[in-house]
Amino acid sequence: MGRSGWVEVFRRARHHAGATNVDDAKAAGIPTSTWYDRINREEWFDCGAGVRLVPGAPVTMQTRHHAALLALGPDALLSHDTALALHGLARSRTARLPVHAVVPYDTTTLPPFATIRHRSRRLTQVDATIVDGLRTTTPARTLLDVAGRTRLHRLEALLLTVRQRRMACADDLVAQLRRRPSLAGARNFRRALAILDAGPVDSILEARILELVRKHGLPEPVPQYRIHHEGRLLVADFAWPGPGVVLECDGRKFHGDEAFQRDRDRWNDLEAAGLRLVWATWEDVHETPGRLLKRVRDALGSRGVTLARHRRDG
């Protein structure tokens, strides 16, 4: 095909951020020997695993993503940390960090330089989506993939974000777990899902508080309770409407000073509405849960609620 064949190769490379391989040459009708003669003569940058960069193309993270998919074949998907970043669930990855890709278990093709290849016995189209023109694991699949090396509170935060952004529904997440119940990290994943399924919460701190209250037999609070006061709508994190007790999450550690000031204004309004407030921080829940539970019991008791005898809280 001569010149027109090379025009087609360069056109395809533009769609792959400058990356190309011999398959593009074959599709353009260029003999394999002609392809190798030119790339060696002009010293096209070698990405490894048969992938080259056309002259003038910079080595970017996007280039490396395309190189991995070109090398590993049509069934490969970007996965793990790479997929987290593409979905906006982690910080943008730099070109110095490895690319992660998952392939069917029987794939023998080697990956390009600085690419980690994961093999999976359960990899289907259900696991695939397209992000920025790149074949990528779905958010649900991605979170289960990384669950084995992600701390529980971080995994909870990721799951909450995915659900709040409607990137995956609860059924999607549960389906992933059912398909790969023995995967490393499945236990962590199951635990995080259970905490988030406790009720309609807006933060991991709220989910942990609700879990703590239920575990120790306190009356069930109403999450995100709406209160009308002097023409204003106030929303409490948790409330026991009958006795007029509210439990509020102190989110300074996660939300910053400006958000904390808004919370303080809301707390003042709740108190002005005649409610008894109890505050809870991350440290209260994880370091001194017994003290927090006592404050809740004392607040409820002061409003006439009779509580059953309880065992000593840890």
Break the chain into its structural domains and give their ranges.
204-302
End-to-end Cα distance, the chain? 77
Stretch 261-274: mean pLDDT: 74
15, pLDDT greater than 70: yes
* Residue found by looking up tokens 């929303």 in the block: 235
Please state, for a pLDDT cut of 70, what percent of the chain lies above it: 90
Integer-rounded Cα radius of gyration of the chain? 27
Tell me the range of 147-151, 200-204, 263-267 where mean pLDDT is highest: 147-151
Of all residues in the chain, the percent with pLDDT exceeding 90 is 61
Query: How high does pLDDT run on average in the chain?
Result: 88
Whether the full predicted model's pTM is greater than 0.85, yes or no, is no
In the chain, the amino acid numbered 113 is F
Q: Average pLDDT in the 110-120 region?
A: 93
State pLDDT tens for residues 141-165: 999 999 999 988 889 889 989 988 9
Report the pLDDT value the prediction gives residue 126, as an integer from 0 to 100.
94
Closest by Cα among 128, 104, 103 to 116: 103
Say yes or no to pLDDT of 257 above 60. no
CB 211 within 8 A of CB 176: no
The secondary structure element, H or E, covering residue 209 is helix 204-215
- Res 78: pLDDT: 97
pLDDT at position 164 is 86
Q: Regarding predicted confidence, which is higher, 91 or 213?
A: 213
Q: Which residues contact 304 (CB under 8 A, 6 or more apart)?
A: 243
CATH class for domain 204-302? alpha beta
Among 76-85, 159-168, 255-264, 288-297, name the one with the lowest average pLDDT.
255-264
Q: Reply yes or no on whether the pLDDT at 138 is more than 90.
A: yes
Query: Is the confidence at residue 4, as pLDDT, over 70?
Result: yes
